[in-house]
Copies of this chain bind each other. A is one copy, B any other.
Amino acid sequence: MKDGQIAILFDIDGTLVDSVYTHVVAWHEAFCQAGLTVPLWEVHRRVGMDGGLLVDELLALAGVEDSDPKRPELADDMSEGHSRIYRAAAQRSLRVLPGAREVVKRAKTLGFVVVLASSAPQEELELTRGLLDIEEHVDAVTSGEDVDTAKPDATLVKIAIERAGVTPSNAIMVGDATWDAIAATKAGARPVGVLTGGVSACALRDAGASLVFQDCRDLALDLENAVQSLTSDSGGGV
């Protein structure tokens, strides 16, 4: 290992907890209930980005004009609807992803700082953190309340790096979404991708992830090598 402390920043939704598809269906259902149609793949590829930005883009896709006087109210309704439908489904359907707890414990055992770098709202975080039950291995947490605009904006990753107390180049961001990789790159951190959010390896690589693992179980098995290759000057690639 190189000089200096190393931190691993974990996204939660789609990375540690199998919640991406529940979010997709909840957003879609909120739009349906308002009589608006958005293709589900268009929702899926936006999960993990800032919620306000996601709603703006989906309202535009659904044909709601920027100048429509009902638009601000519709945006609030979509956010509220998603939150309500997601929480109702989450109680029943959320599962911890393979290797999620193991990779966090392994990171601590290897002496890395562990941050849960989510931009989900507090009430959603309570659900996923409660399910994960790994708080004793976690050094810091971020949430949607820490920033005005979440990923792909870099601010949330920068805050996670600050809370970890490491230099950006010693921070590794593990995430399932292209937005994680884009935000991590902007913040000067090293993005690692996992396939558990349903985004292809090639798409994660295109977004900047230099290493892509099937899931956190695979990453846990190779964590020490992965960290070494990412924090050496040359970076790494699979």
Find chain B residues with CB under 8 A from A45 CB: 198
| Chain A 195-218: CB-based contact to B (< 8 A → 1; otherwise 0) | 111111011001000000001000
Q: Is the CB of A21 within 8 A of B18?
A: no
Cβ contact of A200, chosen from B18, B32, B199, cutoff 8 A: B199
Grouping DSSP codes into helix (H, G, I), strand (E, B) and loop, the A interface class, with mixed when no group exceeds half, is helix
- Chain B: CB-nearest residue to A95: B37
A151, chain B: closest CB distance, angstroms: 18
A65, chain B: closest CB distance, angstroms: 18
Given known pairs A25-B21, A32-B93, the reply for A39 and B202 (CB within 8 Å) is no
A64, chain B: closest CB distance, angstroms: 16
Interface magnitude class on chain A: 20 to 34
- Chain B: CB-nearest residue to A96: B37
Interchain CA distance A202-B206 in the complex, whole Å: 9
Copies of this protein, total: 2
Find chain B residues with CB under 8 A from A40 CB: 18, 20-21, 198
| Chain A 93-128: CB-based contact to B (< 8 A → 1; otherwise 0) | 101011000000000000000000000000000000
Interchain CA distance A198-B20 in the complex, whole Å: 13
Q: Is the CB of A41 within 8 A of B196?
A: yes
With an 8 A cutoff between CB atoms, is A190 at the interface?
no
Given known pairs A25-B25, A203-B202, the reply for A197 and B18 (CB within 8 Å) is no
Within 8 A of B (CB), among A7-61: 18, 20-21, 24-25, 28-29, 32, 37, 39-41, 44-45
A interface, CB within 8 angstroms of B: 18, 20-21, 24-25, 28-29, 32, 37, 39-41, 44-45, 93, 95, 97-98, 195-200, 202-203, 206, 215
